[in-house]
Amino acid sequence: MIVKVCGMRDPENIRNIEQTGIDWMGFIFYPASLRYVPKRPEYLPKKVKRVGVFVNESMKEILSITDLFQLDYIQLHGHESPDFCRMLETRGLRTIKAFPIATAEDFQATVPYSGCCTYFLFDTKTPAHGGSGQKFDWGLLDSYRGNTPFLLSGGIGVEDTEKLKTINNKHLIGFDINSRFESTPGLKQVDTVRKFVEQIKKH
């Protein structure tokens, strides 16, 4: 299972979280976010994949930031179209399209994106673009009928590891964690992240 820690900013915290055994690290390039990254930190991870999180950003700006941060994945949380995702993919960029989930019907929104994205991400539906720290009913994942692999996000905490391991969906590839592991926005608790990684990867 992939473990992605999102909302990173602080150079020393980035360095320490990189050593916890995570697989991906996310950087948010959405100015309205409390975890917005306005400039390149003094340190960026070398051992894990770098994910850039964008909301309704222009292609030009995404490509510019991707080059500056040497991003491995582009995570889209806005109203980006299937064609927009496809254009990024044709440029050799791997995309993760986020979908807000509250009911089984919400998975219908993924259908036009099939074949346009590398992965999907299912997050809790809120008035904002994610980052609520709230869970949705994970039982709804049984209603997903697509073939695109996905990550699960939304209010995941270290206390959820055993329940997460009971999710039986062959397309689930990992978990995206953030606010429940913070001491302040953008600053993650290293020991708590390490404990989550150890428990979720334990067979």
Question: pLDDT averaged over the chain?
Answer: 95
With vertex at residue 97, the alpha carbon angle to CA 122 and CA 43, rounded to the nearest 5 degrees, is 100
| 42 or 127, greater pLDDT | 42
- What are the CA-CA distances from residue 148 to residues 33, 161, 168, 173 (Å)? 27, 23, 15, 10
Could you tell me the pTM of the whole model?
0.95
Q: How confident is the model at residue 89 (pLDDT cuts 50, 70, 90)?
A: very high
In the chain, how many domains are there? 1
Average pLDDT for 129-141: 81
Angle between helices 59-69 and 82-90 (to 10 degrees): 40
Burial of 21 (C-beta count, 10 Å sphere; 0-12/13-18/19+): middle
Read off the pLDDT of residues 5-40 as tens digits, 9 standing for 90 and up.
999 999 999 999 999 999 999 999 999 999 999 999
Q: What is the pLDDT of residue 202?
A: 86
**Residue 131: is its pLDDT beyond 70?**
no
Paired tokens of 188: 């993650």
B/e letters for 134-171, b = 16+ CB within 10 Å, e = fewer, are ebbebebbeebeeebbbbbbbbbebebbeebeeeeeee
**Residue 130: is its pLDDT beyond 70?**
no
**What is the percent of the chain where pLDDT is above 90?**
94
- Name the residue among 123, 39, 118 with its Cα closest to residue 77: 123
Q: How confident is the model at residue 79 (pLDDT cuts 50, 70, 90)?
A: very high
| Other beta carbons within 10 Å of 77 | 24
* CATH number, position 85: 3.20.20.70
Domain that holds residue 165: 2-200
